[in-house]
Amino acid sequence: MSDRYAVIGHPIGHTKSPLIHGMFAKASGQDLVYTAIEGRPGLFAEDAAAFRAAGGRGLNVTAPFKLDAFAYATERSARASLAGAVNALKFDGERVLAENFDGVGLTRDVVRNLDCAMQGKRVLVLGAGGAARGALLPFLEQRPAELVIVNRTVAKALALAQELVGQGPVRACGYQELEGQRFDLVFNATSASLRGELPPVPATVFVPHGLAYELAYGKGLTPFLRMAQQTGVRRLADGVGMLVEQAAEAFAWWRGVRPATQPVIERLAVPLA
């Protein structure tokens, strides 16, 4: 019988995970079945337990259940603990192991796929929610010259930066304090693009030789990317590479085999125009 894996979220109809993991399994010769579960808000533990009881080996976790998955786990990685959120679970008897591969997937996409080194660069992260939290430790491991977190609620960004004291050159501020500052890499980890809106970032933060990265995927040229393009930024990217790379990390964690990602990224990519 094939090993069973799934992604759980609400709503889940838009998910690309079954396609991604299906391509990974076929390419790597792994015998598994990967499905999507429409989770029930407030009942994550019951839904996860039912999947385990039916023979499930692991789960990918997407919105709005990443905090529920954190609480459900019995053991959490350092990345998951810092993020305070979980996007992958592995079931081993009574143990529920938890990971957060969002940040490591994003970093791998930037450094390897986009060939954009972070070492010695000034990095700006817009937002201090779950998406940002998962990225910060992997970013600092790349040894940037400075990592700045900006958020509408400045206290939230300051608290997050405080958690990272000793991990690297990180600080936090409000959007109004960005005037006059310029960054080599700018990441939009806010939810603004999901609503077709622009975060209140000044256009002056971008540099033409830099990278503007939209964590949302499949949205084309979002207001954030359009602003970057209009200021002369030539390197634009959305989150499709992050999506595929974090999936590959989970697949390798579960199966012990790391699949090739480029064919899947090419299959899912949407032109940024």
Which residues are known to be catalytic?
Answer: 66
Q: Is 130 annotated as a binding residue?
A: yes
Beta-bridge mates of residue 89 = 59, 98
Q: Is 60 annotated as a binding residue?
A: no
Q: Is 92 annotated as a binding residue?
A: no
Q: Is 152 annotated as a binding residue?
A: yes
Q: Is 131 annotated as a binding residue?
A: yes
Q: Is 100 annotated as a binding residue?
A: no
Q: Is 9 annotated as a binding residue?
A: no
Single-letter residue type at 126: L
- Yes or no: say if 234 and 116 are a contact pair by the CB < 8 Å rule: no
* 16 SS3 class: coil
Q: Is 193 annotated as a binding residue?
A: no
CA distances from 180 to 29, 227, 234 (A): 52, 17, 21
Q: Is 217 annotated as a binding residue?
A: yes
Axis crossing angle, helix 17-28 with helix 240-255, rounded to the nearest 10:
50
* DSSP codes, 41-97: TT-HHHHHHHHHHTTEEEEEE-TT-HHHHHHH-SEE-HHHHHHT--SEEEEETTEEE
Binding site members for shikimate: 15-17, 62, 87, 102, 217, 246
Binding site members: 15-17, 62, 87, 102, 127-131, 151-156, 215, 217, 239, 246
Binding site members for NADP(+): 127-131, 151-156, 215, 239
